[in-house]
Amino acid sequence: MIEKKETILIVDDDPMNLSLLNDYFAASGFRVLVAEDGESAVQRAADLKPDIILLDIKLPGIDGFEVCRRLKGDEKAKDSPILFMTVIAEIAEKVKAFALGAVDYITKPIDLEEVAARVNTHLTIRRLQKKFEEQNLKLQRGEERYKHLLESISDGVYVLDRDWRYTLVNENAARLVHMSPRDLLGKKITALFPGIEESKFFKTYLDVIRTGQPGAVVNEFNFPDGPRGWYEVRVYPVPEGILCIAADITAHHLAREKIKASLVEKEVLLKEIHHRVKNNLQLINSLLSLHSRRVDDKKSAAVLMEVNNRIHSIALIHEKLYQAEDLARIDFDEYIRSLTGHLRSASPELAPGVRFKIKAGEILFEIGKAIPCALIINELVTNSLKYAFPRQRDGEIAIDLSVVAGDKAILSVADNGIGLPVDFSIEEAGTLGIQIVKALVKQLHGTLKIEKSKGSKFTIEFPVK
């Protein structure tokens, strides 16, 4: 049976055939139109646009061949499939029918089920054809939108096939290489730009094709007939080759290079500042050392030496910054080892049997945190060397610096010496060293805790930033 209700035009001058076909297709759910001669068949087909036409060849007036020729030349009726239905069985007639545009040729006497099967087949083909035409129209509209979108992209977009030929180019891509899209399409990039095979761009092209993974490259390129420029190209694999999205970043690159040059100049200037500060502090240290040698009073000489050590701890910060690659931060593990080495050599008579145990790791501090922290270590280590180990007894001074939770530093200076007096109170301590430590802890926005068992231990906690 017929799958779907359609409109069928039956053209036959035999009343018996016409009635038989009319009743059969009407019962099958068709809307049936009939014509008994060629002229009326042409008129009805043009006016009513049937989905399919059954057409006899021998008709009064114009024959079926002429009807077919006229219908195929009529914009309104040309898409209706025509099935010839005739007693003529000669091959030449069949060839003529198909040449005029018929889709089938049925020889009488007819079998209704056969006719129905053929009608159903050609209607299915027609439906599929119409669907294809609709999809093709949508595709054409989509391609137009795609082309509009492609041209609206500010970057250059182009596709290269596996023979390195341009198969798609937008206006901006053509403009990047100082050519027109028409000049690029079908051309090999290797022929247009000799030597490109040695460039980073081409290496990225090859990597993307080989791996099937997207890639990107930024590099300078010199066009044969144009200026040098810097380009960023993002490359994506596609079935035919690679899709490339390119941007001219010459202006951005030049601006960045200018900034980098400016930063280099500032780094040189900052290094020079650190160098001069360090030299000036060392000059002050030298003057203090000269004065301390001329002072007969041991107490005054000791005070000058403590001042000297404080100045040295600050000068050492500037020296490390001058030597460092990062002018904003200082490696504190290396700094502590240098500072304790200086304190040892500056007063070799103080606790010669004391060992230093340093644990700081790779901790970097900005100068605003580094100088107060350095002075605290200087004061606490000096106090331990002076008071914790009388009569040159052996012992150990442990310095531990760590950062926890990414934002809090913990500094501890401990010794296993004789310890602090039982009645010692940080709030009431009047020595200059402890007062300096308290002031520096406050400057760091930190807290100070003291433990007096098994020697002494000072713990300072402060925010890293």
Number of domains present in the structure of the chain = 4
**Count of other CB atoms within 10 angstroms of residue 28:** 18
CB 125 within 8 A of CB 136: no
Model pLDDT for residues 160-194, shown as the tens digit of each residue: 999 999 988 888 888 877 788 888 889 888 888 88
Give me the pLDDT at residue 37, please.
93
Looking at the fold, whether 280 and 369 belong to one and the same domain comes out as no
Looking at the fold, whether 204 and 285 belong to one and the same domain comes out as no
**Is beta strand 82-86 parallel, antiparallel or unpaired with respect to 104-107?**
parallel
Model pLDDT for residues 47-81, shown as the tens digit of each residue: 889 999 999 999 998 999 999 999 999 888 888 99
CB 101 within 8 A of CB 45: no
Whether 1 is in a domain gets the answer no
Give me the pLDDT at residue 68, please.
93
Of the given ranges (40-44, 72-76, 136-140, 340-344), which has the lowest mean pLDDT?
136-140
End-to-end CA distance of the chain: 85
Of the given ranges (5-9, 345-349, 390-394), which has the lowest mean pLDDT?
345-349
Give me the pLDDT at residue 319, please.
66
Distance CA 397, CA 413 (A): 7
Give me the pLDDT at residue 43, please.
92
End-of-domain residue from the set 297, 326, 355: 326
Looking at the fold, whether 381 and 417 belong to one and the same domain comes out as yes
CA 392 from centroid of its chain's CA atoms = 64
15/297: higher pLDDT: 15
Give me the pLDDT at residue 327, please.
44
Looking at the fold, whether 169 and 237 belong to one and the same domain comes out as yes
Looking at the fold, whether 388 and 437 belong to one and the same domain comes out as yes
Whether 92 is in a domain gets the answer yes
Whether 379 is in a domain gets the answer yes
Looking at the fold, whether 115 and 65 belong to one and the same domain comes out as yes
Give me the pLDDT at residue 1, please.
44
Distance CA 123, CA 230 (A): 60
Looking at the fold, whether 344 and 234 belong to one and the same domain comes out as no
End-of-domain residue from the set 296, 326, 356: 326
Looking at the fold, whether 302 and 339 belong to one and the same domain comes out as no
Range of the domain at 109: 7-146
Looking at the fold, whether 139 and 23 belong to one and the same domain comes out as yes
Residue of 80, 69, 70, 63 whose CA lies nearest to 43? 70
Give me the pLDDT at residue 178, please.
77
| CATH number, domain with residue 340 | 3.30.565.10
Whether 163 is in a domain gets the answer yes
Whether 232 is in a domain gets the answer yes
Give me the pLDDT at residue 2, please.
45
Cβ-based burial of 296 (10 A; exposed 0-12, middle 13-18, buried ≥19): exposed
Quote the mean pLDDT of the chain. 81
| Length of the chain in terms of residues written | 465
* DSSP H stretches of helix in 156-249: 171-176, 181-184, 189-192, 200-211
Give me the pLDDT at residue 144, please.
66
Looking at the fold, whether 206 and 310 belong to one and the same domain comes out as no
Whether 130 is in a domain gets the answer yes
Looking at the fold, whether 29 and 76 belong to one and the same domain comes out as yes
196/53: higher pLDDT: 53
DSSP state of 386: I
End-of-domain residue from the set 201, 220, 248: 248
pLDDT tops 50 at residue 31: yes
Whether 2 is in a domain gets the answer no
Whether 341 is in a domain gets the answer yes
Distance CA 35, CA 12 (A): 7
Looking at the fold, whether 300 and 388 belong to one and the same domain comes out as no
| CATH number, domain with residue 40 | 3.40.50.2300
Model pLDDT for residues 364-377, shown as the tens digit of each residue: 777 778 778 888 88
Percent of the chain with pLDDT over 70: 79
pLDDT tops 70 at residue 277: no
Give me the pLDDT at residue 147, please.
66
Number of H helices, E strands in the chain: 14, 17
**Is beta strand 395-404 parallel, antiparallel or unpaired with respect to 354-359?**
parallel
Residue of 375, 361, 372, 261 whose CA lies nearest to 307? 375
Compute the CA torsion angle 131, 134, 136, 137 (nearest 10 deg). Answer: 180
Cα-based distances in Å from 367 to 208, 291, 316, 363, 430: 46, 30, 12, 13, 28
CB 416 within 8 A of CB 384: no
